[in-house]
């Protein structure tokens, strides 16, 4: 079976060395073809740094570098047309580790700026990379937009629907580039599979199923204590209403607390719901239901560990997403994936950069494979080489005005599907939704989850 490949190339060299301001709207000077990993064999980022001056590279600041942020910082540092200029984190240990990693990869030591808001004052900073906890995603992106910076925003783009609407409004106002980090939009074979669905390879697609499974342990019952000396806990909480520090919140378990996190549906479901929305060619749903709860353990975990979200759309299509955080039994042989069902067959995309097509008799009729190893359960860096394509798309949008693979409106629409599922579950109701706006109709119990409460003085605005 054929295998798709993707080898993005940089534009031809320009005749004269551009100024920093001119560069941001033009092609890079003298840059060679990029491979999936971001650099040519035999060349290191240090080699490129010697060839290409710092003024010719997009200057980025990292916000949140403990786990996923560290992987992102490393990936950005590997890109020859980029320089990691600053590192911001409320955890001094994480910041030091990231700075050392970036310096080793790129040969240049970024500045440590503990408060990312100070980093935004740097006139030479082009973009902020946001990988902090979910409650900081939209507020940080809004501050960066106001400061005239572009934003690479890890999923989900917002903690609640109101923040997603603010992001869309901010991008329209400030005209900056905001790319959400649903990286599969840039994986070549995944994109080809989705396009095949839309082009009719399985006939009319009318239903999609997505899933995520894992074997996460109990987080126990946290003990109240003073925040550790290495942590600026007040800045970590930021816009969230203040809660006392407990020893089972940081660094990953905040995902399971509503004050800061959004549960498994937005943690991992965002990727699959985005692919399903893309493949079915829909925006906002008409009806949303959800069932689930914290079933596996009795501990401090607040969000569902088991959840099913069902959505219906105006074009007579539907989708479901199933999340099982604490039982890793796979679906269709994969820990994560989506299947599209049509009147002539089905197309399956697992956790990697590949897809399979089946006819109505369940015969495999086409398979597009990928050689790169991907671990969908690696919460830090499951697919560095492929994610570099998403980063380069972000850069192309900044310097050449290229279309984003995941602009903020699209990112908000996909994030909202997960948020509506959580709202349906938390309100114990079926949601009727306006398919033109995504807004909940005539349901006060549900509408109260549209926007959160904020710590006084930290409210995000456009």
Pair (414, 363) in one structural domain: yes
Domain count, the chain: 2
Q: Is pLDDT at 21 greater than 80 in this prediction?
A: no
H/E stretch holding 259: none
Find the mean pLDDT for residues 348-369.
97
State both tokens at 313.
């759309």
Supply the pLDDT for residue 382: 55
Evaluate whether residue 148 is within a structural domain.
yes
Give the count of alpha carbons within 13 A of 226, CB side only. Answer: 3
Task: Determine if the peptide bond prior to 251 is cis (ω within 30°).
Answer: yes
The arithmetic mean of pLDDT across residues 4-28, rounded, is: 33
Do the Cβ atoms of 201 and 360 come closer than 8 Å? no
Query: What is the number of other CB atoms lying within 10 angstroms of the CB of residue 295?
Result: 14
Residue 140 has pLDDT above 80, yes or no: yes
Q: Are 305 and 324 in contact (CB under 8 A)?
A: yes
Report the C-alpha gap between 154 and 116 in whole angstroms. Answer: 16
| 194 vs 279: CA distance, rounded Å | 5
Residue at 161 is within a domain: yes
Residue 455 placed within a domain: no
Residues 309-321 have a mean pLDDT of: 98
Pairwise CA distance, residues 229 & 226, whole Å: 9
Q: State whether residue 423 is helix, strand or coil.
A: helix
Please report which confidence band the pLDDT of residue 17 belongs to, taking 50, 70 and 90 as the band edges.
very low
This prediction's pTM: 0.88
Asked if 160 and 251 sit in the same domain, the reply is no
Measure the CA–CA gap between 413 and 419, rounded to whole angstroms: 10
Statement to judge: residues 72 and 221 lie in one domain: no
* Residues 200 and 167 placed together within one structural domain of the fold: no
Give kind and range of the element (H or E) at residue 432.
strand 431-432
pLDDT at 98: 98
In this structure, of 251-260, 366-375, 388-397, the range with the lowest mean pLDDT score is 366-375
What range does the domain containing 36 cover? 20-185
Which candidate, 265, 250, 272, places its Cα nearest to that of 303?
265
Domain membership flag for residue 385: no
CATH number of the domain to which 434 belongs: 3.30.360.10
Report the share of the chain in percent with pLDDT over 70: 85
Average pLDDT over residues 228-238: 98
Comparing C-alpha atoms, which of 387, 392, 398 is closest to residue 81? 392
> Tokens representing 110?
């970024």
Q: Answer yes or no: is pLDDT of 23 > 80.
A: no
Judgement on whether residues 173 and 78 belong to the same structural domain of the protein: yes
pLDDT of 385 reads 84
Task: Give the list of residues 6+ apart from residue 242 with CB closer than 8 angstroms, or none.
Answer: 234, 455
Give per-residue pLDDT as tens, 46-77.
554 545 556 689 999 999 999 999 999 999 99
What's the whole-number mean pLDDT along residues 6-30? 32
Distance separating alpha carbons of residues 30 and 49, to the nearest angstrom: 12
State the pLDDT at residue 49: 52
**Mean pLDDT across the chain:** 89
Give the CATH number for residue 119: 3.40.50.720
Residue 271 reports pLDDT greater than 80: yes
Question: With 50 as the cut, is the pLDDT of residue 7 above it?
Answer: no
pLDDT tens for residues 191-209?
Answer: 999 999 999 999 999 999 9
Q: Which residues of 377-411 are buried (b: 16+ CB within 10 A; e: fewer)?
A: eebeebbbbbbbbbbbbbbbbbbeeeebbbbbbbb
């Amino acid at each position: 079976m054929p295998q798709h490949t993707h080898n993005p190339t940089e534009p031809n060299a320009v005749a004269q060395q551009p100024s920093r301001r001119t560069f941001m709207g033009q092609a890079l000077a003298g840059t060679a073809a990029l491979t999936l990993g971001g650099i040519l064999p035999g060349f290191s980022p240090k080699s490129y740094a010697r060839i290409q001056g710092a003024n010719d590279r997009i200057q980025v600041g990292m916000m949140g570098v403990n786990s996923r942020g560290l992987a992102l910082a490393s990936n950005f540092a590997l890109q020859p047309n980029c320089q990691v200029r600053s590192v911001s984190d409320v955890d001094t240990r994480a910041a030091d580790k990231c700075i050392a990693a970036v310096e080793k990869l790129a040969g240049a030591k970024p500045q440590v700026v503990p408060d990312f808001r100070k980093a935004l004052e740097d006139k030479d900073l082009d973009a902020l990379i946001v990988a902090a906890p979910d409650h900081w995603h939209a507020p940080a992106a809004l501050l960066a937009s106001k400061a005239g910076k572009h934003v690479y925003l890890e999923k989900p783009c917002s903690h609640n629907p109101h923040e997603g609407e603010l992001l869309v409004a901010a991008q329209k106002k400030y005209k900056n580039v905001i790319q959400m980090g649903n990286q599969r939009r840039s994986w070549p074979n995944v994109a080809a599979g989705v396009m095949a669905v839309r082009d009719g390879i399985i006939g009319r697609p009318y239903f999609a199923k997505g899933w995520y499974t894992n074997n996460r342990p109990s987080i126990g019952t946290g003990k109240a204590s003073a925040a550790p000396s290495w942590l600026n806990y007040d800045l970590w909480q930021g816009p969230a209403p203040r809660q006392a520090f407990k020893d089972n919140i940081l660094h990953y378990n905040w995902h399971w607390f509503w004050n800061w996190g959004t549960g498994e549906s937005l943690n991992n479901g965002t990727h699959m719901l985005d692919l399903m929305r893309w493949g079915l060619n829909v925006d906002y749903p008409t009806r949303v239901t959800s069932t689930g709860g914290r079933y596996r353990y009795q501990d401090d975990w607040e969000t569902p560990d088991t959840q099913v979200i069902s959505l219906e759309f105006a074009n007579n299509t539907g989708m479901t997403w199933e999340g099982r955080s604490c039982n890793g039994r796979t679906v269709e042989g994969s820990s994560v994936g989506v299947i599209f069902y049509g009147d002539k067959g089905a197309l399956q995309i697992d956790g990697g950069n590949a897809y399979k097509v089946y006819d109505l008799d369940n015969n495999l009729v086409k398979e597009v494979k990928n050689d790169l190893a991907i671990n969908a359960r690696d919460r830090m860096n499951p697919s560095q080489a492929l994610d570099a394509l998403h980063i380069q798309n972000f850069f192309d949008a900044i310097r050449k005005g290229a279309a984003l693979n995941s602009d903020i409106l699209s990112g908000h629409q996909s994030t909202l599907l997960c948020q509506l599922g959580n709202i349906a579950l938390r309100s114990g109701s079926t949601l009727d939704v306006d398919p033109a706006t995504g807004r909940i109709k005539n349901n006060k119990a549900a509408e109260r989850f549209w926007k959160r409460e904020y710590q006084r003085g930290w409210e995000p605005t456009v």
